[in-house]
């Protein structure tokens, strides 16, 4: 049912934890199942994402997609990070079962929420980013 990559990221999730004094923090809930995810971003003065960590109260697919999403986001600039969709994360994991696709939305939404928080804290506007629900 799950790809080897999904199982790997579920069993050994990368970047679990918190970042103290993070540049941006985003917390989102999944309307479909009630699971919750928080993502922390450390963004440097050139708007490069230096570090990214996550915590989730969620299912295995949510853990695996968050783990992969944090790996993809690290080292990217803000505009590149915005392009990391749940579809891109799923592709990087060699796919998810259809009933688990909604789980992958948490990571994308949490990254967007954390970027929004960063923009608000710094009084800037990020092109292409809309206010999280």
Task: List active site positions.
Answer: 33, 103
Listed in order, strand segments (DSSP E) in the chain are: 24-29, 36-43, 49-57
Residue 35 or 108 having the CB closest to ligand FES: 35
Tell me which residues in 97-126 interact with ligand FES (CB under 6 A). 103, 106
Nearest to ligand FES of 109, 117 (CB atom): 109
Mark residues 40-79: x for contact with ligand FES by CB under 6 A, - for none.
------------------xx-xx-----------------
Phi, psi of 32 (to 5 degrees): -80, -35
Measuring CA to CA, which residue among 118, 131, 124 is closest to residue 40? Answer: 118
Residue of 31, 51, 1, 3 whose CA lies nearest to 106:
31
For ligand FES, the binding residues (CB under 6 A) are 30, 33, 35, 58-59, 61-62, 103, 106
């Amino acid at each position: 049912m799950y790809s080897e990559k999904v199982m790997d990221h579920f069993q050994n999730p990368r970047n679990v934890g918190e970042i103290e004094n993070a540049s941006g923090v985003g917390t989102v809930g999944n309307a479909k199942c009630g699971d919750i995810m928080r993502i922390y971003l450390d963004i440097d003065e050139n708007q490069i994402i230096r570090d990214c960590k996550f915590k989730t109260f969620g299912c295995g697919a949510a853990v695996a997609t968050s783990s992969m999403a944090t790996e993809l986001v690290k080292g990217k600039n803000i505009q590149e990070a915005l392009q990391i969709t749940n579809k891109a994360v799923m592709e990087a994991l060699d796919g998810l079962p259809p009933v688990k696709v909604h789980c992958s939305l948490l990571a994308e939404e949490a990254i967007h929420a954390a970027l929004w928080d960063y923009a608000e804290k710094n009084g800037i506007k990020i092109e292409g980013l809309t206010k999280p629900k």
